[in-house]
Structure 1
């Protein structure tokens, strides 16, 4: 009987052991600093499906987007948050609306990285 009591005591002590929570998530700030606008544009944002550097596919080219946004001193980030009107190709706005679900879920840092990437194509 004494052996059973000792065994139960040991089992209870083992089962009450405090476990550390292991997480694979990184803080948003750290993740945003490590990822590039190009990675977001081609990956998470899926922007590359409609936009190419120098030619219009479904949406306007990155060169055209950058040129017009710079000329009008407008914010691509505001557009991606759906806080401003389309200024490059309003006829494609309805197609772009489906991507706002993705872009509105991104952090400001991620959207800024995409904007900076787009502006690398300005001439």
Structure 2
């Protein structure tokens, strides 16, 4: 009986060890990892705008909500040759509605953490709404 118990324990130990050795050195994909896709910069920008950027909570495409519409932002930045990416990085002044900059300050802290690719995609999405 002791031998049978010992054999079962040895089998369990080796079967568990084999499973852990199989994943050793192989990257594990988790549900929270981003999947790289071949999407356009504008599509990535829209995804950021509606998702992690949370821009949609204050801005709409064609009407003022809390902040100006995307169409108005794109128009003003184009007319004034503004640096939208610089603004998102906190390196440029607000040119659309400086009086609302205090409301945007928390979001600027968020956009400062975005990659250049994400910021350019967000800019591209905003400009894609220019009429």
TM-score band, normalised by the shorter chain? 0.7 to 0.9
Which deviations, in whole Å up to 9, do the C-alpha atoms of 1:29-80 show, x marking residues without a partner? x158475322321232221222222333322222221122112322212111
- Aligned Cα root-mean-square deviation (Å): 2.4
**Change over 3 Å in CA distance of 1:53–1:3 after alignment to 2:** closer
Residue 9 (1) aligns with residue 10 (2): yes
Counterpart Cα distance in 2 of 1:48 and 1:94: 17
User: How many Å separate the matches in 1 of 2:59 and 2:100?
Assistant: 12
SS in 2 for 1:36: helix
Displacement after TM superposition at 1:6 (Å): 2.1
Could you tell me how far apart the structure 2 residues matched to 1:69 and 1:32 are? 28
Question: Structure 2: which 5+ residue stretches go unaligned?
Answer: none
Distance of aligned partners of 1:107 and 1:33 in 2 relative to their CA distance in 1, 3 Å threshold? farther
Match of 1:49 in 2: 57
1:82-101 paired onto structure 2 within 5 Å: 82-101=90-109
Alignment of 1:102-117 (within 5 A): 102-117=110-125
Q: 1:45·1:102 contact (CA, 8 Å) conserved in 2? A: yes
> TM-score, normalising length from structure 1?
0.79
Q: Which residue in the other structure is 2:30 paired with?
A: 23
Distance in 2 between residues matched to 1:80 and 1:32, nearest whole Å: 24
- Give, in whole Å, the separation in 2 of the partners of 1:112 and 1:68: 17
Q: Distance in 1 between matches of 2:81 and 2:113?
A: 24
Q: TM-score, normalised by structure 2?
A: 0.75
